[in-house]
Amino acid sequence: MSQLQTRFFTDNKKYSVDDVPFSIPAASEVQELSNVINKLLEAKNGSHSQIEFDFLVRGQFLRTSLSNHMEAEGISTEDVVEIEYVERFTAPQPEECMMHDDWISSVEADSEWILTGSYDKTARIWSLEGKAVMTVAGHTDVVKDVAWVRRDGLTSLLLTASLDQTILLWEWNSERNKLKARHCCRGHAGSVDTIATDPTRTKFCSGSWDKMLKIWSAVATEEEEEVEEPPSRPRKKQKTEQLGLTRTPLMTLSGHNEAVSSVLWLDSEEICSASWDHTIRLWDAETGSVKTTLTGSKVFNHISYSPLCRRLASGSTDRHVRLWDPRSKDGSLVLLSLTSHSGWVTAVKWAPSHEHQLVSGSLDNLVKLWDTRSCKTPLYDVSAHEDKVLCVDWTDSRLMLSGGADNKLYTYRYTACETDAGA
Amino acid sequence: MMRLSVSRPEKLYSTPITDIRNTVGNVPMEWYQDYPHIGYNLDGKKIFKPIRNKDELDEFLDKMENPDYWRTVHDKTTASDIRLTDEQVDLVHRLQKGQFGDVNFNEYEPSVDFFTNEVMIHPVTNRPQDKRSFIPSLIEKEKVSKLVHAIKMGWIKPRKPKETTPQYYDLWAKEDPNAILGRHKMHVPAPKMRLPGHEESYNPPPEYLLTEEERLVWEQQDAEDRKLPFLPQKHSCLRAVPAFSRFIHERFERCLDLYLCPRQRKMRVNVNPEDLIPKLPKPKDLQPFPTTMSLVYRGHTSLVRSISASPTGQWLVSGSDDFTVRFWEVNTGRCMKTLEVGGAVKSVAWNPNPAVCLVAVERTVLLLNPSLGDRLVVSSTDQLITAYEPPEEDKEQAVTWALSEGLEHNMGHRLTLTHPKAVKQVVWHGKGDYLSSVMPDNSSNLQVLIHQVSKRRTQNPFRKNKGLVQCVSFHPLRPYFFVATQRYVRVYNLIKQELTKKLMTNCKWISSMAIHPGGDNLICGSYDCRLAWFDLDLSTKPYKMLRHHKKALRGVAYHRNYPLFASGADDGSVIVCHGMVYNDLLQNPLIVPVKVLKGHQITHDLGVLDVTFHPTQPWVFSSGADTTIRLFT
């Protein structure tokens, strides 16, 4: 079999080898290349222990034999091949399984606590170890989305959005484990499917089935804001039984022709929303006008934005995860399609600390971990769920979360490579 | 007899004797037949015919006896016999031989060489040569230069070099096929004779030998009906085989076969099978349409008879034979609500306007408030129902309206319409106030009822029974009402209260009907596997019949926005068709089946029972006998 001239390099100083070309059999695969690097490292440093590596040829992960990969990518085998190697991202290990009473519609984790919304009309707070800490009950219908607002020491503010057309802002003291509904945000005329807190943690945006986006203040205050609301509303009668003070939106963004399915803040001035009308819109949060419209061909279920790589990932009612550049001016430009799911992609989430990784959940019961440098196959398939996966999330503390229609919230531990963290 | 046409020598020679030359000239002598004279002589005197009394006998005697008879000629002009002299006879002989008349003329005179062939040293003429023979001709030069110029300018093309390769042609290319050679080409060889099989062997294996019964049958059969023309026989050895008794017969039959067999080459029509397929656009170009199964809504425990999507597209309602009505969230497949209704649910219909859902149960029609979606709409729906004030005088109605209270009210029941007979179908009017219910019954005129919810009124629009009503539908825009009986669809004008149109479906038994939201087209599904597509403006006959399903159709549906319609059948499949109607009247509607969606299992010979489209997305729901509802996107 033919030999290839290769040169190995890495960003990680710990594992760097000499910059000399090696002759490698063209049929060699990842395992053989990994052995080569380990041999070289052992020769350099006697105390080196075996490490699994992954290899990138021109920014694409090597998944087949080297010759096949180069043929597929159309790289000449005459020249010296530059191969980058990184420590292999190990498979996410299932850690905890948190049982709920009903389907889990949404999950959001901060560094200590996990907040989940469920179809049993409650939201729950869990510790990272999987202990149920608090049940947030107050909605009269299914909780569709949850979000953390801010934490000041031991008190946290959190939001729950529900099918009963309200968003509740709660204050939770983790030491005394006391929960208090501070505000009830009314104004939507349909189920509130999505909420997102802005980067300054003072506002949040919500998207609803009534095609509207509304921006609300996320600061808990003691004053009544009732003056803003016209007194003739029939809802006023119900206020006696309400939780917390009623709050009205600061601003309403209208423009979508169908239900809004997902909303997020790109930065403190820009909101991005995905809708059933096959569009993703970028809004100016100050003026409330549409800045850009990205048009797709299918209903969007969920979007996620990574400030590291400045890409938007979308999950839609087909099998693909699509990556978009929200800054591109020429409208609808799909940068990349990640195709491996066999059902609707219901949830996507970029890794908080890695610019290439994202996780997606689908109706085919699978959670997939993707690396954008390997768009044909995902890095790992996680098949823990027995029913539809409805939500996924990451935490900064090396946990991946996924919840679904089998009433279970799974957490998985993953190890990020040193080099990639903070890249 | 010899006649001498040349008269001159005769005159020449006869003048000395008697000059009786006739002066009439060269005129036919017949002209003087009736006259005594024959002409005039030189003196102008008549020449009288000589007295001729010679008869044939005299002529003959004269011929026999007169030695000069052979040289006697008759001169017509003078009517006298002339005896030729020896010179004259000699001349005649010479002329007869083709010789010159003059004896002395020598035709072979020796030639005289006037001009010698030898070149003389002295020229014949001593004229010096012209100057112009030495200098080139100006005219020629001009001519040549003109030609050269023309060649240079390309006006004259140099002659093409002759092709050296020999050219061949097919001598028999245009052969007449009826000519002998053509017939040779069209030769069809005679069919070959069948080779003898085992049964013709002198010692056939025993299975080829006929048993006694078979032999009897064989003997009783007509010669034409026999499978074998002979009886297989077994002989102990070749020596014992007798002479072939059927030899002459067999040869005769073979000759008869060859003689009678038609030898004509069959002209095969060379048709590309692809040309026979009508030109249809590729389904890829007709997107979007549902292609894959995305969600399965599980929860019912018996067959799901009917489904309906909410006008916003967020919810789906389904009615099943397990006595429940279920409400589903479309995008997750979550069952949001289950309502027990105490009877098999035959039909459900979501009100196109507010959040009222209508359910037809055996003998009752229930109006339900699902309490899903916008709170305002939910409460306004309740207000609409409670705002009813009963009229002063109570009229007798075909159905009884009852307001649900207490526990049932909390469950969502609002109004109960108790019908005298089993209700099969309910359908809303587009405005959402009127609804119609169907109670199929062949024997009475009480088959279709139209109810008004706000006034709680019921009326029976038909006085006569026109056949078993299968399904009804309101026109989406105009006050028309469609009633499908077993074979016909009747269109009634509700304002004028008259029959507007009667559509012949060409089906045996209509099962379902759907009207395009534009109101111009209608599709009918039937139990005999057909789907009829009507253009209401065009004709009362189907514009197109689609026979794609293998089994009876159970449900048909139109999409509200996209040019799509779907049909579900007992073969467990849903077929989605693209049905585009153009504003341009000259362009024919484009009806293309685009996708067969499979997924439902066939249970008790029932497959898909109902189909409906999502109101905004190109998605189709189907409910099946396998207790599931499926969403195809």
HEC-encoded secondary structure of chain A: CCEEEEEEECCCHHHCCCCCCEEEECCCCHHHHHHHHHHHHHHHCCCCCCCCEEEEECCEECCCCHHHHHHHHCCCCCCCEEEEEEECCCCCEEEEEEECCCCEEEEEECCCEEEEEECCCEEEEEECCCCEEEEEECCCCCEEEEEEEEEECCEEEEEEEECCCEEEEEEEECCCCEEEEEEEEECCCCCEEEEEECCCCCEEEEEECCCEEEEEECCCCCCCCHHHCCCCCHHHHHHHHCCCEEECCCEEEECCCCCEEEEEEEECCEEEEEECCCEEEEEECCCCCEEEEEECCCCEEEEEEECCCCEEEEEECCCEEEEECCCCCCCCCEEEEEECCCCCEEEEEECCCCCCEEEEEECCCCEEEEECCECCCCCEEECCCCCCEEEEEEECCCEEEEEECCCEEEEEECCCCCCCCCC
pLDDT for res A232: 46
Query: Model ipTM?
Result: 0.82
B155-171 mean pLDDT: 84
The residue with greater pLDDT, B78 or B606, is B606
A-B contacts (CB, under 8 Å): 47
Distance CA A51, CA A87 (A): 7
Express each pLDDT in B246-291 by its tens digit.
899 889 989 988 888 776 677 777 888 888 877 788 888 888 888 8
- C-alpha distance from residue B202 to each of B242, B254, B401 (Å): 10, 22, 95
What is the model's pLDDT at position B148? 93
**Structural element, H or E, at residue B515:** strand B510-515
pLDDT-based confidence at residue A243 (cuts at 50, 70, 90): low
Please name which of B466, B488, B398, B396 lies closest in space to residue B437, comparing C-alpha atoms: B398
Cβ contact, residue pair A191, B288, below 8 Å:
no
Is residue B12 pLDDT above 60, yes or no?
Answer: no
Read out DSSP for B533-567? Answer: EEETTT-SS-SEEE---SS-EEEEEE-SSSSEEEE
- What share of chain B has pLDDT > 90, as a percent? 8
Distance from the Cα of A190 to chain B's closest Cα (Å) equals 5
The torsion angle over the Cα atoms of residues B408, B409, B415 and B416, rounded to 10 degrees, is 10
Nearest to B36 by CA among B25, B22, B46: B46
Identify the band that residue B2 occupies on the pLDDT scale cut at 50, 70 and 90.
very low
Residue A341 pLDDT > 60: yes
* Maximum CA extent, chain B: 173
CA-to-CA distance for B577 and B573, rounded, in angstroms? 13
- Asked if pLDDT for residue A342 goes beyond 80, the answer is yes
Report pLDDT for A237.
43
Helix (H) or strand (E) holding B611: strand B608-613
Residue of B nearest to A144 (CA): B332
Taking phi first (over 0 means left), then psi (-120 to 50 degrees means alpha), and beta for anything else, what does residue B305 get? alpha
C-alpha–C-alpha distance, residues B106 and B101, integer Å: 11
Interval B466-480 mean pLDDT = 86
Residues B442, B468: contact at Cβ < 8 Å? yes
pLDDT over 50 (residue A240): no
**Closest-CA distance of chain B to residue A67, Å:** 36
pLDDT, residue B183, reads 63
Contacts of A210 in chain B (CB under 8 A): 374
- Residues of chain B whose C-beta is under 8 A from some C-beta in A? 288, 294-295, 312-314, 331-334, 336, 373-376, 379, 616-617, 633
pLDDT band of residue B205 (cuts 50, 70, 90) is very high
Q: What is the pLDDT of residues B41-81, one digit of tens each?
A: 888 888 888 777 778 888 888 888 888 888 888 887 777 78
For A234, residues 6+ apart whose C-beta sits below 8 A from its C-beta are B379
Regarding predicted confidence, which is higher, B204 or B506?
A: B204
User: Average pLDDT for residues B457-470, to the nearest whole number?
Assistant: 82
C-alpha to C-alpha distance for A268 and A231, rounded to whole angstroms: 33
Among B331, B382, B632, the strongest candidate for a mutation testing the A interface, having the largest count of A CBs within 10 A, is: B331
The DSSP annotation for B209-230 comes to S--HHHHHHHHHS-TTT-SSSS
Interface of A to B at Cβ within 8 Å reads 103, 119, 142, 164-165, 189-191, 209-210, 234, 258-259, 276, 297-299, 301, 317-318, 343-344, 363, 388, 390, 405
pLDDT of residue B13: 46
Is residue A76's pLDDT more than 80? no
Beta bridge partners of A345: A362
Nearest chain A Cα distance for residue B531, angstroms: 30
pLDDT tens digits along A80-100: 778 888 877 777 788 888 888
**Average pLDDT, integer, range B151-180:** 81
The pLDDT tens digits of the residues spanning A376-389 come to 788 888 888 888 88
- Of all residues in chain A, the percent with pLDDT exceeding 90 is 0
Predicted pLDDT at B149: 94
Q: What is the pLDDT of residue B68?
A: 86
Mean of pLDDT over chain B: 83
Q: What is the pLDDT of residues A188-206, one digit of tens each?
A: 888 888 998 888 888 888 8
What is the model's pLDDT at position B355?
66
What pLDDT does residue A332 have? Answer: 54
pLDDT over 70 at B20, yes or no? no
* pLDDT tens per residue, range B545-556: 888 888 888 889
Return the structure tokens found at B302: 């018996």
**Which residue in chain A has the smallest CA separation from B297?**
A388
Q: Using only the alpha carbons of chain A, give its radius of gyration.
A: 24
Q: Which of A182, A219, A213, A179 is nearest to A195 (CA)?
A: A213
Mean pLDDT over residues A292-314, rounded? 86
What does the pLDDT read at residue A405?
87
Which residues does chain B have within 8 Å of residue A302's beta carbon, measured at their own beta carbons? none
pLDDT band at B140 (very low <50, low <70, confident <90, very high): very high
The reported pTM is: 0.68
pLDDT at B141: 93
Q: Are A355 and A366 in contact (CB under 8 A)?
A: no
Predicted confidence (pLDDT) per residue in B168-200, tens digit: 888 777 767 666 666 666 677 777 888 888 988
Name the residue type at position A147. A
* CA–CA distance, B565 with B551 (Å, rounded to integer): 18
Token digits for B174?
């245009």
Q: Is the pLDDT of residue B502 over 60?
A: yes
- How many percent of chain B have pLDDT more than 70? 92
With contact defined as beta carbons under 8 Å apart, do A58 and A7 qualify?
no
**Which pairs from B196-201 meet CB under 8 Å and 24+ separation?**
B199/B228, B199/B232, B200/B230, B200/B232, B201/B232
Question: Is pLDDT at A119 greater than 50 in this prediction?
Answer: yes
- Looking at the DSSP bridge assignments, the partners of residue B515 are B522
B39: left (phi over 0), alpha (psi -120 to 50) or beta: left
Pick the residue of A143, A242, A302, A363 with the most B CBs within 10 A to test the interface with B by mutation: A363
Res. B19: pLDDT tops 70: no
User: Which has more pLDDT, A310 or B95?
Assistant: B95
CB atoms within 10 A of CB A93: 11
State yes or no: pLDDT of B447 exceeds 90: no
Q: What is the pLDDT of residue B583?
A: 78
Mean pLDDT of the B535-545 span: 84
- pLDDT for residue A230: 44
Cross-chain CB nearest to B373 (options A190, A297, A298): A190
Q: Pick left, alpha or beta for residue B506 (phi over 0 → left; psi -120 to 50 → alpha; otherwise beta).
A: left
The CA distance from B150 to B157, in Å, is: 9
Give the model's confidence band at A222: pLDDT under 50 very low, under 70 low, under 90 confident, else very high: low
Rounded-to-integer distance, Cα B279 and Cα B285, Å: 14
* Segment B349-371 mean pLDDT: 75
Instruction: Specify the pLDDT at position B9.
Output: 44
φ and ψ of B57, to 5 deg: -65, -45
Is a pLDDT exceeding 80 seen at residue B385? no
Question: What's B395-454 look like in SS3?
Answer: CCCCCEEEECCCHHHHHCEEEEEECCCCCCEEEECCCCCEEEEECCCCCCCCCEEEEECC
B616 vs A276: CB contact, 8 Å cut-off?
Answer: yes
pLDDT digits over B324-335, tens only? 888 888 888 888
Query: In this structure, what are the phi and psi dihedrals at residue B147, rounded to the nearest 5 degrees?
Result: -65, -45
